[in-house]
Amino acid sequence: AQTVTQSQPEMSVQEAETVTLSCTYDTSESDYYLFWYKQPPSRQMILVIRQEAYKQQNATENRFSVNFQKAAKSFSLKISDSQLGDAAMYFCAYRIPYGGATNKLIFGTGTLLAVQP
Amino acid sequence: DAGVIQSPRHEVTEMGQEVTLRCKPISGHDYLFWYRQTMMRGLELLIYFNNNVPIDDSGMPEDRFSAKMPNASFSTLKIQPSEPRDSAVYFCASSRDRVNYGYTFGSGTRLTVV
């Protein structure tokens, strides 16, 4: 069964600094998708960034980038120039690219990020 | 695009009462998902639909929970009778058929059963 592990329950970063959140996953599939979601105190789940496993190039969205290591089954999120608004719970998630009964998004347990002014 | 719309945003009910949570997915999305979030168990998938048909309900905790999707624009999650351990945030999410998209989540319903 596929699992997603986030080993850092909490992280803290100074404003304007860079922080990296870790995520590992377990799968026997070769093709899949990975996601990072942000959940601020408003509890809205917001998609931050996605990565296709068949792409070697790491995804980037403005200040957010990933370090995707397929062989190591690692998918970390780097936040550059951290801002107060980045404070939130961050969830790593996995999904296989097939429809029907296997179409599920599997979440990790989350990392709570605090941003210090 | 108004996003995924859930109602109510908060619900407080007494143990034993029936609770109905509602969701309107994004137009054109073929998949609809119901998740439950608690501190102890994190985000759990309860059930999901494809083209209004339930595909996997293995996450539904027990017979007190039921979900329906009578048409492409509306779904309900019902708990009858409710219990204090059902207290959680319930999210609805929808997705296009192309699975490289992530889900779009609603704002969630915070359910408190007293």
Q: Give the nearest chain A residue to B93 (CA atoms).
A: A45
Paired sense of beta strands A19-21 and A74-79, if any: antiparallel
- pLDDT-derived band at A102 (thresholds 50, 70, 90) equals low
Query: What average pLDDT does range A85-93 have in this prediction?
Result: 97
Select the highest-mean-pLDDT range: A86-100, B5-19, B33-47: B5-19
Instruction: Please measure the distance between the N-terminal and C-terminal CA atoms of chain A and give it in whole angstroms.
Output: 41
Contact B102 A42 (CB under 8 A): no
Query: What average pLDDT does range B103-112 have in this prediction?
Result: 95
User: A12 has which bridge partners?
Assistant: A114
Lowest mean pLDDT among A55-64, A77-86, A93-102, B6-15: A93-102
- pLDDT-derived band at A103 (thresholds 50, 70, 90) equals low
Report chain B residues whose CB lies below 8 A from the CB of A91: 43
Q: How far is residue B99's CA from residue B97's CA, in Å, rounded to a whole number?
A: 6
Dump pLDDT digits (tens) for A3-57.
899 999 999 999 999 999 999 999 888 888 899 999 999 899 999 999 988 888 9
Which of A43, A95, A96 lies at the smallest CB-CB distance from B107? Answer: A43
Element (H, E) at A51: strand A46-52
Q: Is the CB of residue B24 less than 8 Å from the CB of residue B93? A: no
Q: Is the CB of residue A104 less than 8 Å from the CB of residue A94? A: no
Q: How far is residue A67's CA from residue B39's CA, in Å, rounded to a whole number?
A: 28
Q: How far is residue B11's CA from residue B18's CA, in Å, rounded to a whole number?
A: 11
Residue B57 contacts A, CB cutoff 8 Å: no
CB neighbours of residue A69 within 10 Å: 12
Q: Which of A64, A104, A106 to mutate to test the interface with B (most CBs of B within 10 A)?
A: A104
Which of A35, A45, A109 lies at the smallest CB-CB distance from B42? Answer: A109
Nearest to A49 by CA among A74, A26, A77: A77
Lowest mean pLDDT among A8-17, A59-68, B70-79, B96-105: B96-105
- pLDDT-derived band at B1 (thresholds 50, 70, 90) equals low
Residue B31 contacts A, CB cutoff 8 Å: yes
pLDDT at B11: 97
Residue B56 contacts A, CB cutoff 8 Å: yes
Q: Which of B34, B103, B107 to mutate to test the interface with A (most CBs of A within 10 A)?
A: B103
Report chain A residues whose CB lies below 8 A from the CB of B31: 103
Q: Is the CB of residue B33 less than 8 Å from the CB of residue B94? A: yes
Asked if pLDDT for residue B70 goes beyond 80, the answer is: yes
pLDDT at A29: 84
pLDDT at A98: 65
Q: Give the nearest chain A residue to B5 (CA atoms).
A: A44
Contact B102 A37 (CB under 8 A): yes
Report chain B residues whose CB lies below 8 A from the CB of A92: none
Cβ contacts below 8 Å, chain A against chain B, sum to 61
pLDDT at A97: 65
Q: Is the CB of residue A74 less than 8 Å from the CB of residue A53? A: no
Task: Using only the alpha carbons of chain A, give its radius of gyration.
Answer: 14
